[in-house]
Amino acid sequence: MLIFDTIVALSTPPYKSALAIVRLSGPKSLEIISHMIKKDVSSLQPNHCYFLNIYKDKDNKDSLIDEIVLSFFKGPKSYTGFDSLEFSTHGSQFIVDELIQALVSHGARRAEKGEFSAQAYYNGKMDLLKAQGINDLINANSKRAKAIATKTLSGKNSQTVNNLKDTLLEYLSQLEYFVEDQYSDEKDDYDQELDKINLSLEKNCSDLEKTIEKTQHCNKEYQGINVAIAGEPNVGKSTLLNALIGENKAIVSPIPGTTRDVVEGEKEINGILFRFKDTAGLRKTDDFVESLGIEKSYETISKSDIVLLASDCGFEEIDSNPELLQVIGNKPTIRIATKKDINKNLTGSDIAICSINDSLESLIEMMFSKLDLTHKEESEFLGKREEDFLINILSDLRMTQKAICDTHQIDIVSDSLRVAIECINDLLGNQVTKTMEDIYQTLFSKFCLGK
């Protein structure tokens, strides 16, 4: 991936359609297109569209590729920061391939995945947080996921971590005044300064902990909820799956052990994607194939966010299954007495239903309550990468507090603060040298003008 190359790629799905859009970006964009259109490229106005013919070679009228709408975006006021062109063509894959090949023959290179956004990042059009937000929005698979991803594009996440960085830089600049004099008579002064910083850091850590908790909650909502439907054979698990997703996904029969593999179905409920997984009935068996399915059932349960435990004869057998209880652990669990129309044994159940006849609204409400989805947490951060960075930053700040309490040595505390600032710069995608630049800029900004 070479940032200064001029790159080209199809920006719409590679299928037959009414229209297709091809994007060209880089310092040679206008030079390349000058070989393919008869219009003088110097006359192209930024943010204007032009209807014209495009050729493999403009001097050969028989090399016509298509009639297109050409849009020009002048760098740096473009998505990538470079001169960019977008070609709206007819949606034939043959036309698209011909156009891209012609652009390549005149000096462009086929873009790699994410390379247009990489150009934007290099040219300062976005930081890594916004770049990740764009990818999250593209991959959103539910209404709630889209809402969460859209929030990450607001720039508030960058503002939040930059504000924290400015605060830490302020602490660091205050300490730098005492570095040379920490063994002088001013020890009481810097002890007081360290205690003051420690007190402020406690609030910073508390705020960060709340942000991490919200981010983890939003990550779960964005990714979708994995639901394991588990229980003994022939208790109505497959019928429950079909009722929850509204289609006949799983085979239903009165024969125990019908389900021998995990059957999955998805449904968006109240804007959140749920992945329901019907597992093989849990029992002891000598059937090799069924035993493999039961092993997979335990694995599915262990990876789920919530477990729906189904039974039509009470939960005594389930409660005497130590392997199942160990796998479930502290996961949110709902015990469902199935076949309510013929089953009168409701002992130990949280809810009783007949999957064929009953509305499942009460069960869904219970699921939302167990998963704490009844109120929607809002976080400007999203994704495992951001979550891990926030956790690391919090750990660095806690280490700084420990350094204050254990040593009261300014140089040790300053080093701990630098580590946290470096972690923030890594999160934003800043260069290593940016940390020292930030420190010196904050420190010397306190000097008088002209000093």
Dump pLDDT digits (tens) for 398-443: 999 999 999 888 888 989 999 999 999 999 888 656 555 665 455 4
Amino acid at 43: S
Answer yes or no: are the C-beta atoms of 410 and 404 closer than 8 Å: no
Out of 121-125, 229-233, 256-260, 395-399, give the one with best mean pLDDT: 395-399
Q: HSE, CB side, 13 Å, CA atoms: give it for residue 377.
A: 20
Sign, CA dihedral 172-161-305-357, equals positive
- How many other C-beta atoms lie within 10 A of the C-beta of residue 234? 19
Q: At 225, phi and psi to the nearest 5?
A: -100, 125
d(CA 393, CA 385): 12
Beta-ladder partners of 49? 71
Beta-ladder partners of 160? none
d(CA 134, CA 143): 16
pLDDT of residue 439: 52
Sign, CA dihedral 54-58-61-63, equals negative
d(CA 262, CA 379): 33
Mean pLDDT of 34-61: 95
Dump pLDDT digits (tens) for 119-144: 988 888 888 888 888 888 888 888 88
In the chain, where does the domain assigned CATH 3.30.1360.120 lie? 7-125
Mean pLDDT of 21-25: 96
Q: Which residue has the higher pLDDT, 345 or 403?
A: 403
Q: Which residue has the higher pLDDT, 131 or 37?
A: 37
Answer yes or no: are the C-beta atoms of 86 and 21 closer than 8 Å: yes
Query: Is 50 exceeded by the pLDDT of residue 444?
Result: no
* pTM tops 0.95: no
Q: Cα 47 to the chain's mean position, in Å?
A: 31
Question: Of 79, 87, 73, 140, which is closest to residue 115 (Cα–Cα)?
Answer: 79
Looking at residue 248, the DSSP 8-state letter turns out to be -
State the pLDDT confidence band at 286, using cuts at 50, 70 and 90.
low
Q: Which residue has the higher pLDDT, 118 or 164?
A: 164
Which fold would CATH assign to domain 224-370?
Answer: Rossmann fold (3.40.50)
Q: Cα 255 to the chain's mean position, in Å?
A: 42
Which residue carries 């937000």 as its tokens?
A: 133
Burial letters 417-448, b for 16+ CB under 10 A, else e? bbbbbbbbbbbbbbeeebbeebbeebbeeeee
For domain 143-220+381-444, give its CATH number from 1.10.10.10, 3.40.50.12240, 1.20.120.430, 3.90.25.10: 1.20.120.430
Average pLDDT, the chain: 86
Number of helices (H), then strands (E), in the chain: 15, 12
Q: Residues with Cβ < 8 Å from 92, sequence gap 6 or more?
A: 16, 20
Which residue carries 């059009």 as its tokens?
A: 125
Amino acid at 295: E
Beta strands 64-73 and 84-91 are antiparallel
Q: At 430, phi and psi to the nearest 5?
A: -75, 155
Looking at residue 448, the DSSP 8-state letter turns out to be P
Range in 159-163, 181-185, 323-327 the model is least confident about: 181-185
In the chain, where does the domain assigned CATH 1.20.120.430 lie? 143-220+381-444
d(CA 207, CA 154): 20
Range in 315-319, 411-415, 446-450 the model is least confident about: 446-450
Query: Is 50 exceeded by the pLDDT of residue 21?
Result: yes
Dump pLDDT digits (tens) for 61-100: 899 999 999 999 999 999 999 999 999 999 999 999 999 9
Answer yes or no: are the C-beta atoms of 238 and 260 closer than 8 Å: no
Exposed, middle or buried: residue 211 (CB in 10 Å: 0-12, 13-18, 19+)?
A: buried
Answer yes or no: are the C-beta atoms of 194 and 416 closer than 8 Å: no
pLDDT of residue 111: 92
% of the chain with per-residue pLDDT over 90? 48
d(CA 146, CA 156): 16
Q: Residues with Cβ < 8 Å from 210, sequence gap 6 or more?
A: none
Query: Is 90 exceeded by the pLDDT of residue 148?
Result: no
What homologous superfamily is domain 7-125 in, according to CATH? Probable tRNA modification gtpase trme; domain 1 (3.30.1360.120)
% of the chain with per-residue pLDDT over 70? 88
Angle in degrees, 0-180, between the axes of helices 156-179 and 128-138, rounded to the nearest 10: 160
Query: Is 60 exceeded by the pLDDT of residue 185?
Result: no
In the chain, where does the domain assigned CATH 3.40.50.300 lie? 224-370
d(CA 304, CA 277): 9
DSSP string covering 320-343, please? T-HHHHHHHTTS-EEEEE--TTT-
